[in-house]
Structure 1
Amino acid sequence: MRFVPALTAAALLTACATSMEPLPSPPGPIADNGNDCAVIAAVAKEHFRFGPDNPPPPVRFLGDYEPRCNWSRYGLAFTPYDRNGPDGGRRWVSFEQPRYDGQGALIKVGIMHGRLAGQGSECRVRSGFAGWTVSECQATWVS
């Protein structure tokens, strides 16, 4: 009966192995999937360095994507983007919906500081014991 503990251990290890494939997105507006808010917050704080001493410009979510997040939980204070705002809609930060894979998440982001002054990036964000952290961002556009 020595093989029973070995079989039990093998069964437990097999049961713990799960796929990291992204789940299909539902049609229409998309809400937070449980990780989107944390991924966006990690990029906002680590890549853009937003926080109490560096408030973010108005936020834009692209397409039909607009997660419902409690930003104050992450120490952020996003305001919605308004094309007709006081600066004429020239200042903003944008986030696309994160895409999840076996390494964590990829997210496309952008920031405009004014007319023709901005940059876009794609960031790799990884999940660990400390939550989601940005491991790298690569520039995808500059204006």
Structure 2
Amino acid sequence: MANVPTELKYTKDHEWVLSTGADVVRVGITEFAQRQLGDVVFVELPDKGRVLEAGDPFGSIESVKAVSEVYAPLSGTVTALNDELDGNSELVNDDPYGDGWLIEIKIGDKGRLKGLLTAAAYEELIREEAE
């Protein structure tokens, strides 16, 4: 079973969300997602300042197996990108919940986090997908 940290929130599209401040969240892909992708070779991220709508694709992750879009878990403005992924994309495989994060979004309303999956609900989702 994949590692599913309890302090994070999750999406059905296998992104994780960590509240880092009053109105900012950090976003990445889950360990389950990176295992499905295989070895990541390239990560495309949006420009800083881009306004995202929840559910819209904001970038892509290319692996030796496929190219997969990554979706905005919440609406808001991109405030930071993980520049370490430029030429170091394997961080997504090595540490998906740490150094392999993708973007930070200013969301304006932390109440929106309630609409995301808890760790227990996400574990149930991946258990069902694995069957």
TM-score (norm 1): 0.25
TM-score (norm 2): 0.26
User: Larger C-alpha radius of gyration, 1 or 2?
Assistant: 1
